[in-house]
Amino acid sequence: MRLPIVFRMVNIPGMKEPNVVTHLLEDDGVIPNHAKLPLLVYPGAVKGESMQGVRQRILANNWHGAWAGSVYSFHHYHSMAHEVLGCFQGSATVQFGGESGPKVEIQAGDGVVIPAGVGHKKISSSADFQVIGAYPAGQEVDMCGEEETSREEIIDRIQGLANPKTDPFYGEDGPLARLWA
């Protein structure tokens, strides 16, 4: 597994310079992860925003299917959609990439963009932990874990999925386009 690389983005017109922590996670034999796209963690991306504020921001940036809730407490991933999480309340430790993947502390105000194929599981959380989740426009969410489809077919689906057209927190000029280029 590769160590996280920290990027500091600059020169985004009209915005603060967002810090983005990246984790490029390798296939662990159970969770395929994504061979090219790193997990993106945005500390403080939605700091001070309400549930409705986080939801509206994500929807305005062309991510759809918004839901509010927690993160499942079992390893799972999506092969047909990338996913965004915007934490508006509480805190949690979420493990990404499978049993040997990094455990990331997420708190109110943080955002995460999870590439298709990257496993995620809530390890622990405060009683009030809540996120808004959503998916890029035009992508259909599925739930993968115990597979009924061939691993090769799943990996092909993951690798063939288009990148989102916008960053869910910062729009067209956000760091996602550069980090997922």
Domain range holding 68? Answer: 5-169
Mean pLDDT in residue range 110-136: 98
Q: What is the pLDDT of residue 146?
A: 64
Q: Which residue has better confidence, 148 or 66?
A: 66
Residue 93 lies in a domain: yes
Total domains present in the chain:
1
The answer to whether the predicted template modeling score (pTM) of the entire model surpasses 0.85 is yes
Residue type, 123: I
Residue 179 lies in a domain: no
Residue 177 lies in a domain: no
| Nearest to 166, CA basis, from 46, 78, 60, 81 | 60
Residue 74 lies in a domain: yes
Eight-state DSSP code of residue 18 = -
Name beta bridge partners: 114.
83
Q: Which of 92-106, 139-153, 158-172 has the lowest average pLDDT?
A: 139-153
